[in-house]
Amino acid sequence: MAPPEELRARLAGAGQSHLLRFWAELAPAERDSLRAALALLPAEELGAHCRRAAAEARAAERGPPERSGRSMEPVPAEFLGSVSRSEPATLARWEAEGFRQISQSKVAVLLLAGGQGTRLGVAYPKGMYRVGLPSGKTLYQIQAERIRKLEQLAGKKYSTTCTIPWYIMTSEFTLGPTERFFIEHDYFDLDKTNVIMFEQRMLPAVTFDGKAILEQKGKVAMAPDGNGGLYRALVDNKILDDMERRGIQYIHVYCVDNILVKMADPVFIGFCVSKGADCGAKVVEKAYPTEPVGVVCRVDGVYQVVEYSEISLETAQMRSPDGRLVYSAGNICNHFFTLGFLETVAQNFVAFEVLREEEFSPLKNADTADTDTPTAARRALLSQHYRWALKAGARFLDENGSRIPEKLNLSGTEDPPAVCEISPLVSYFGEGLEAHMRSKAFYSPFILDESKIEMLEDA
């Protein structure tokens, strides 16, 4: 039986006639399923998607930008802020501005959570993963508690009540499990009306020559349209309308797998607002020239992320007079947008460099891998909390009551001498710990949560 003429003509116009080559072999139910799937892909849009994917693949094959006639340059110094190279008073000013915007409920966070935990070896969304912390908390719980704490800090600072809406972009694979997980955990004590989940589109997987791929004879291979599909998903799901209704002006966008992420970071928000930026990116300094991380830079005058595989070794090794890598701004998928940018795509861009050990430890692979593992993520968080505790004046004891020697310079490949986990509900980023920890001794392992605060206050 031949496929419907209208369907054949539509796919031919898109250059995708091959999707029907097994039509005669399909059972009636399989034909109905394929016809229904293709009906969701307008011919013009399908053709454009396949051509665009092929063009991007060809562009990637052109090699390093500087070898393909394109002009590549680092982010100019005047558009690059830094935690480590800014004066404390400047950082404080940016933080105050960020808190001011948060206190007025003008800031939202937008989580990119479309990925499954396949590389982690689990069949559920990454946000539901536990890295083995003493508290047993998942990534979602840690992030929810950071939002709650930040609302409290901003509200207290400006004597008001404020809200940080949490928009969560899922995929076809993660929406259902994520919704159920949040319901089961009562939205981690957040107001559920301020947790807005929506789904990114699924698009056909495409070959290098621009042909949609059949996963089975009667099924088109589909995949989430990636982080770049954010803009379309915001429109399709009327998220921009919701933001405008709530009075949101600034949006912090991040990926679910970074256990150290500072959602709605007041310093970052304040820096971007103070600079009049439409969009911004947090970056970390590359650890070494050939580190496999994309670089934020300008190509032909346009800011973008150039993947490490697209940069020549000669360019990657270039250094400025102070010895720093010229192309050092490593991308960590952590962004600032104004609502206006998401609606119209304006031009004013800034980058903000933060310390890797404080703000970036992605969870991507199972512990059998060399990098980005649960062990590495757990170590990064516990090392950070150990540093916070020492700075607050705490000391730690082993099971025999003997003092554990302190170690300030952790290598990143070793566990801290003492295990101390600090709940985000106690401290968002190390603030306020002196009142609870100064000149006090704690047995390792130790969890500082709200219940422990009450005990310490009563002691």
Question: 94-133 burial by CB neighbour count: b if 16+ within 10 A, else e?
Answer: bbebbbbbbbebbbbbbbbbbbbbeebeeeebbbbbebeb
Considering the chain, what percentage of its residues have pLDDT values greater than 90?
A: 62
pLDDT over 70 (residue 59): no
pLDDT over 80 (residue 100): yes
Q: pLDDT tens for residues 318-352?
A: 999 999 999 999 999 999 999 999 887 787 999 99
Phi, psi at 287, each rounded to 5°: -70, -30
- The topology (CATH level 3) of 71-199+248-359 is Spore Coat Polysaccharide Biosynthesis Protein SpsA; Chain A (3.90.550)
pLDDT over 80 (residue 175): yes
Among residues 60, 6, 41, 5, which one has the least CA distance to residue 212?
Answer: 41
* pLDDT of res. 137: 98
DSSP string, 35-53: HHHHHTS-HHHHHHHHHHH
Phi, psi at 151, each rounded to 5°: -60, -40
CB within 8 Å of 329: residues ≥ 6 apart = 74, 75, 80, 281, 283, 285, 286, 295, 296, 297, 351, 353
Mean pLDDT, rounded, of the chain = 90
Rounded Cα–Cα distance for residues 315 and 66 (Å): 9
* pLDDT of res. 62: 61
> Cis omega (within 30 of 0) on the bond before 165?
no
Evaluate the CA torsion angle 252, 122, 204, 34 in order and state its sign: negative
Q: Which of 85-99, 126-140, 196-210, 253-267 has the lowest mean pLDDT?
A: 196-210
* pLDDT of res. 228: 62
Question: What is 374-458's CATH number?
Answer: 2.10.10.100
Reported as a pLDDT band with limits 50, 70 and 90, residue 205 is confident
Q: pLDDT tens for residues 348-370?
A: 999 999 999 999 999 999 999 98
H-run or E-run covering 155: helix 139-157
Rg over alpha carbons for the chain, rounded to the nearest Å, is 24
| Residue in this structure with the two tokens 């062990």, named with its chain if needed | 375
* pLDDT of res. 409: 85
Rounded Cα–Cα distance for residues 334 and 283 (Å): 8
Rounded Cα–Cα distance for residues 186 and 169 (Å): 19
Evaluate the CA torsion angle 204, 292, 323, 86 in order and state its sign: positive
Provide the strand spans (E) within 11-165. 72-74, 80-82, 107-112
Reported as a pLDDT band with limits 50, 70 and 90, residue 458 is low
Domain range annotation of the chain: 5-62, 71-199+248-359, 374-458
* pLDDT of res. 209: 82
Distances in Å between the alpha carbon of 209 and those of 17, 41, 51, 225?
14, 19, 8, 18
